Structure 1
Amino acid sequence: MLPFFILAALAYGAASFAYGAGTGEDSPVKQWARALLAGAALLHTATVGAQCVEGNHPFKSVFLATSLGLLIAVVGFLAISAKRRPMRALGAVLAPFGLIALTLGVVMGPATGVGAGSLSAGVVRAHIALATVGVSGFTLAAGVAGLYLGMERRLRTKQFQKTETGISLRGLDRLHWWLVLLVTPVFTLAIVTGAVALLREGGPAMLSGRLIELVAAGVAFVATSAALISRAVWGLRGRKAAWLTMVAFLCMVLILVSYALRS
């Protein structure tokens, strides 16, 4: 597992440098960024697979789940940024995030586990699986929302730049909406299974000890639901919808930090 981890970390680091190097879209270094990130994702996958062989599967701890979640986000980015949608700014964010998640999964991952003999073990594993998908989905959605806000601000301030991204504000808004539409029900199920697991573990008293996570999850759920409902009823889109997604993403980060501190 260690060789895969070292090579993946080097590839993520090289991709981070390549995405940030130079100022033009035609920079020779930048042309390698996507290939380096794809290589990092492949090595990251090999690292996760080796950890599974060693008994440290992604459902065993929040760090392992985060590692898998960011890997899914990177793969998703590579899929949606093909051909006429490079969206390099999002790649510049995901590359270092992938490196951080990979490192946490390897260094901190085996620290905590889920008891296989527990009555709620199945619910906990379902919760971690759903949360993993939610993390990757929200990361992509927040990245797209951030790109939208950045482009929209440049247009409002008339800071026009020559670009070859091949995607408009309308395209980013549509992509953002589809990501939020897909991730919201998954995140909702993650909240429900997490609450069920806590109730089975120790009853209502366990919920009071997780107040921060519950409040953050509630705010994230309200924000994403409001974005979807407002779009369907009043046609809300653009900057306001993007900010709602950013609020939900920050709440998700708060939940992960709280889990990490508890571990």
Structure 2
Amino acid sequence: MLQHSTSAASRVAFNLSGRTALVTGASSGLGVHFARVLAAHGADVAVAARREDKVSDLAQGIVDAGGTAQALRLDVTDAALVSEAFDGRRFDIVVNNAGIAFNGPALETPEENWRQVIDTDLTGVFLVSQAAAKAMAADGQGGSIINIASILGKRVAGGLSAYAAAKAAVVQLTRAHALEWARHDIRVNAICPGYIETDINRDFFATAAGQKLVARIPVRRLGQMEDLTVPLLMLASDHGRFMTGSELVVDGGHLVTSL
């Protein structure tokens, strides 16, 4: 089985052999991690993003490591491209990870930036989920849809109104889809990460301003991508078969800090 930075015990416990998975936003960060984890546990993974070169490299790396993967060019805001991605394909596991943010005061947020965030972070989740669920319902085999939300879907921070609104809507969309699609044996859950260290934010969190934010996390450290591995695998596998409409918060206690 493909090796990754997970324990041997978890690879045995979370066996995804014979299952197909789609990960959107797989060109960097969490999407890359999610794709590698699913492949490491036996899933045949399709990695999708707008940057075709990035997902092609990721897919090749997974194959070189002994896994099974293919690359798809996908803009989740484009309904035609989403439909094309599911043409003749059916996935058992779908991870809605594609997302962007705009950082700036609400009074100065251009409508274009607002729409870009909402279209990617919310409408994109709806379009991919709908296409995935149609295929899952059609063959009667069910499946698992995992939406990557955020703790900003449950609380707010300055300068991120569009992102917070979109992620809060994703949490509600998760619940709504879980209710409607349970009859088709389709489970829909969300993961709400807190501050997770990635290549994109690592330099910022090393600054004085970044360290101030880290100091507000009760466990006094950033989350690592590996901290999301077991929540992802539980929701993707039969271990989470009685879970739907849930939000798993992985934030080092950030949401329980006092106001």
Q: TM-score, normalised by structure 2?
A: 0.30
Determine which structure has more spread, i.e. the larger CA radius of gyration.
1
TM-score with structure 1 setting the length: 0.29
Bigger helix share: 1
- Structure whose residues are more often strand by fraction: 2
